[in-house]
Amino acid sequence: MPWNRDDAKLDRVRALMAEEELDVLVVRAPDNVLYLTNFWGMKGYDACVFPREGEPVLITLEASEGDATRTAWTKDVRLIRGYDPEDPRPPLSRTLDAVVAAALDYERVGLELSLGTQAADRMVGEPSTFTAAWFDAFREAADATPLLVRARSRKTGQELERLRLANEIAAAAMDHVRELLRPGMREAQAAALWQGFVHAEGTGYHGEVDLALPFSLVWAGRGIKTFTATGDLPVVEGEPVLFEIWVCADGYWADHTKNLVVGELRQDYAELETALMDVYETALDSIRPGAQMAELDRSVREGIAAIGYAGQPTHPICHGVGARAHEPPYPHQAGGGEFEEGMVLAVEPGAYWPGGGGLRVEDNFLVIGDGVEKLSSFPDGVVSCQT
């Protein structure tokens, strides 16, 4: 989707480059290319050469010329062939050639040397990876990943608009499923209801989204676990159905965990919901600019232990959300850092029963001057279906 150039974002990156004395950033991860150019590529064969001064260079496939012309903030778009009759190498080899040429005149180069994860391209099913040749081409490069983490951890006004769109689509899809979920429906069928709405209605959403992609894990009752694939267990009246859901709207993400129930929630689940929501709300009340990240992780885990689930959950209880569904910061009791205004966080405490069952709650929150603002309109806790 075309967006006006986000100068607040790009100026922040350039200011950090000046601090680090870097002349140029060379990025290849699809989320970093998107972050610096507004171009979200199809196959991950794209790159950006982003100088501290001057026009950035976007390298992409010839087949993506139209998308790049329409959405990219830079006018310097250099095209490579997906297939070259005289060159048997894969397309990324030609991307690297173009990158090396574009970065030739810069002395201090920053590269994604410590990148741990990256968002997928628009095609998603076959993510591309870095090769040794990519790193060998810039042997003296500095690690630009910490700089990009610092820049990305605080969102600009435009980024918040984009995150709100992803959150709205996720919530609308849950409203849709809430009307249709029935006992006997299989987990995979419930997931398909949610995913189908996101892709069909989120694409073109209010004329502001080119492409919305859904990702989900859906578990019913005893199928609720820390981390497993969607299966074919049936929806049972009185037992929650947990939706671990991501929406990607033109490269910006929402990450939620929502729970539905058909009929009256079973007593043991209702008791767990009450206890877990107390932990969740206490955690949210503690997040504000200047608060210690380590204390959030520590206090949430102590709270979960106090309700009878010592050592849980085995997954993080907070992380950043932006041009990836999971990105820094990652609050940890053994780590450091403070929350800052403008961060967007997913907060997700959970408690699970041996053998299956339990609950998790999660939404996305903007850190503001006196606390946090919830970005999704869909309620937390266990929500009754409209049957």
**Residue indicated by tokens 């499923």:** 177
pLDDT of residue 386: 77
Average pLDDT over residues 108-127: 93
Q: Please count the other Cβ atoms lying within 10 Å of the Cβ belonging to residue 243.
A: 27
**Residue indicated by tokens 């950006």:** 48
Q: DSSP E strands: which ranges in 28-177?
A: 47-51, 57-61, 76-80, 109-111, 142-143
pLDDT per residue as tens digits for the range 330-361: 999 999 999 999 999 999 999 999 999 999 99
**Do residues 234 and 185 make contact, with C-beta atoms less than 8 angstroms apart?**
yes
pLDDT of residue 124: 85
Ordered DSSP codes for 215-253 = EEEEEEGGG--SS-----PBP-TTSEEEEEEEEEETTEE
As a whole number, the mean pLDDT across the chain is: 97
Domains within the chain, CATH numbers bracketed? 7-153 (3.40.350.10), 157-384 (3.90.230.10)
Residue 261's SS3 state is strand
pLDDT of residue 227: 85
pLDDT of residue 132: 95
> How far apart (Å, rounded) are the C-alpha atoms in residues 213 and 169?
10
Name the token pair of 220.
Answer: 């019913």
Average pLDDT over residues 236-246: 98
Average pLDDT over residues 143-159: 98
| N-to-C CA span, the chain | 37
Backbone angles phi, psi at 77, to 5 degrees: -110, 120
pTM over 0.85: yes
Ordered DSSP codes for 150-215 = HHHHS--HHHHHHHHHHHHHHHHHHHHHHHH--TT-BHHHHHHHHHHHHHHHHTTGGG--S-EEEE
**Do residues 329 and 319 make contact, with C-beta atoms less than 8 angstroms apart?**
yes
The percentage of residues in the chain with a pLDDT greater than 90, rounded to a whole number, is: 96
User: For 320, what's the count of Cα atoms within 13 Å in the CB-facing half-sphere?
Assistant: 24
**Do residues 186 and 241 make contact, with C-beta atoms less than 8 angstroms apart?**
no
pLDDT per residue as tens digits for the range 359-382: 999 999 999 999 999 999 999 999
Residue 376's SS3 state is coil
DSSP conformation class of 70: H
Strand partners, 1: none
List the single range of 77-81, 88-92, 122-126 with lowest mean pLDDT: 122-126
Banded model confidence at residue 125, pLDDT cuts 50, 70, 90: confident
pLDDT per residue as tens digits for the range 154-168: 999 999 999 999 999
Residue 1 pLDDT > 80, yes or no? no
